[in-house]
């Protein structure tokens, strides 16, 4: 029996699927979280063999000691956390239990964006110009080094929260004010071009699965413009020349950071000059339903695939890419709080219904959601097709012709 400690098995939304994956491959799972067991998603509860509730998940010393007491006399084979804020906690538990995997020193570069770039710069990886700042004066000084345009974001952030693009000094001053509550930020060169992901599932340094997702538009642009319906397409052809450059970059990054087993999620840019440039990386799975899209792209269950890779060193499913799989997030327009109308869906389903694999929209009469807090916004559509141009057209049509109103 493979014994696994899983941090936060019920949150965020994808975590119960990963807990299910562990259960499916025969692991015995001890969940650790600060929610009551009864408050966990039913899928998570059904996947756990035991649960340790802690008063405060972020009191790392207390949690480590509680886990040590709970598993005393047992052999723990893996400690897993796929949620960004819990990565260092998982590393501390590994160290305390003598479990293989990323230790604290190895984990820090995945959480500290400046340390991340320092390691990669030393390894010869193409990264944006960058620096860290703890004050307004330091931010202005770093900006002189990076030049404009630039991006300012939290050192240990995730997603695009508290992230701003600044094209001149006035915008920088505004961003400094908006990030006053952030203890430390990174400021880096804004890289022109398209933005992609490079996602992997690895075992002992071997890549068992890889995915490249194409953001349309860049996540930061989508976050700052509420009229946009953000998209990401998991690409079928991973051998296209620009995609291959990103994959080569990603492999160099994984090697430089010493990543060996588990899920990784990297973001990178392809510039108009044909250069692949590193963005950032997490030693965890992506959120925002992206793993679901990988499943739709390959007709697999990657939650189980990840668990099998972690516990048994393999993925037995056929991971070949069969489709380009696109997801489109929708946002209600209008000044109201309650969703009153949904228009365009019937015609789009008549045209594309055979290629739509998931459709989840907020219901009429329900409150609209804040897309800055709920990444899926007021719903999402997943569609797929072997032809990339056709898939992109579908995604564009659902983005522009499906409209949700809160009047």
- What is the spatial distance between Cα 230 and Cα 339, in angstroms, rounded to a whole number? 19
* H runs (alpha helix) in 112-154: 113-122, 136-146
Burial class of residue 264 in the structure, from the number of CB atoms within 10 Å of its CB (0-12 exposed, 13-18 middle, 19+ buried): buried
| Distance from C-alpha of 67 to C-alpha of 5, rounded to nearest angstrom | 9
Pairwise CA distance, residues 6 & 90, whole Å: 8
Cis-peptide, bond into residue 149, ω within 30° of zero: yes
d(CA 25, CA 404): 41
Q: Which helix (DSSP H) or strand (DSSP E) does residue 6 occupy?
A: strand 3-7
Residue with tokens 């209008």: 334
Whole-number CA gyration radius for the chain? 21
Q: Quick one: which of 116, 120, 90 has its CA closest to 103?
A: 90
Residue 48: both structure tokens together: 């756990």
Q: What is the pLDDT of residue 157?
A: 64
Distance CA 8, CA 57 (A): 9
Q: Please report, for residues 135, 240, 293, 401, the alpha-carbon distance to residue 277 in angstroms, rounded to integers and kept in the order given.
A: 28, 17, 24, 34
Cβ neighbours around 183 below 10 Å, total: 9
What was the pLDDT predicted at 160?
Answer: 65
SS3 279: strand
pLDDT score at 241:
98
Q: Buried (b) or exposed (e) across 212-251, using 16+ Cβ within 10 A?
A: bbbbbebbbebbeeeebbbbbbbbbeeeeebbebbbebbe
The low-confidence residues of the chain, meaning pLDDT below 50, are none
The pLDDT score that the predictor gives to residue 39 is 97
CB 77 within 8 A of CB 249: no
Burial 84-100 (b: 16+ CB within 10 A, else e): bebbbbbbbbbbbbebe
Predicted local distance difference test score (pLDDT) of residue 373: 80
Euclidean distance between CA atoms 134 and 185, whole angstroms:
7
């Amino acid at each position: 029996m493979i014994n696994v400690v899983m941090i936060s098995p019920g949150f965020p939304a994808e975590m119960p699927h990963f807990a299910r994956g562990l259960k499916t491959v025969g692991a015995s799972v001890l969940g650790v979280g600060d929610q009551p067991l009864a408050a966990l998603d039913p899928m998570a509860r059904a996947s756990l063999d035991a649960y340790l509730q802690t008063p405060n998940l972020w009191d790392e010393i207390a949690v480590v000691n509680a886990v040590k007491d709970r598993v005393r006399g047992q052999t723990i084979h893996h400690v897993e956390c796929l949620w960004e804020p819990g990565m260092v906690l998982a590393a501390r538990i590994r160290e305390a239990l003598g479990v293989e995997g990323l230790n604290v020193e190895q984990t820090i570069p995945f959480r500290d964006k400046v340390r991340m770039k320092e390691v990669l710069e030393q390894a010869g990886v193409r990264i944006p110009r960058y620096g860290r700042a703890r004050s307004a004066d330091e931010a202005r000084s770093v900006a002189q080094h990076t030049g404009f345009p630039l991006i300012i974001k939290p050192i240990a952030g995730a997603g695009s929260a508290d992230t701003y693009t600044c094209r001149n000094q006035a915008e920088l001053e505004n961003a400094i004010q908006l990030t006053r509550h952030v203890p430390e930020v990174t400021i880096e060169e804004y890289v022109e071009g398209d933005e992609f992901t490079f996602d992997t599932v690895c075992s002992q340094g071997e890549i068992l699965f890889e995915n490249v997702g194409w953001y349309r538009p860049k996540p930061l642009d989508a976050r700052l413009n509420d009229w946009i319906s953000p998209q990401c397409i998991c690409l079928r052809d991973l051998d296209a020349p620009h995609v291959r450059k990103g994959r080569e970059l990603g492999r160099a990054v994984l090697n430089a950071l010493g990543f060996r087993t588990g899920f990784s999620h990297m973001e990178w840019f392809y510039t108009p000059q044909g250069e692949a440039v590193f963005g950032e990386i997490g030693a965890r799975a992506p959120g925002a339903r992206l793993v679901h899209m990988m499943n739709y792209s390959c007709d697999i269950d990657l939650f189980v695939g990840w668990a099998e890779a972690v516990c048994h060193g393999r993925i037995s499913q056929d991971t070949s890419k069969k489709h380009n799989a696109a997801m489109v997030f929708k946002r209600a327009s209008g000044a109201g709080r309650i969703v009153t109308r949904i228009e365009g869906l019937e015609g789009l389903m008549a045209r594309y219904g055979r290629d739509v694999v998931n459709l989840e929209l907020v219901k009429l009469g329900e409150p609209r959601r804040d897309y800055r807090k709920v990444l899926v916004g007021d719903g999402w559509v997943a569609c797929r097709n072997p032809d990339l141009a056709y898939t992109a057209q579908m995604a564009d049509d659902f983005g522009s012709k499906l409209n949700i109103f809160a009047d």
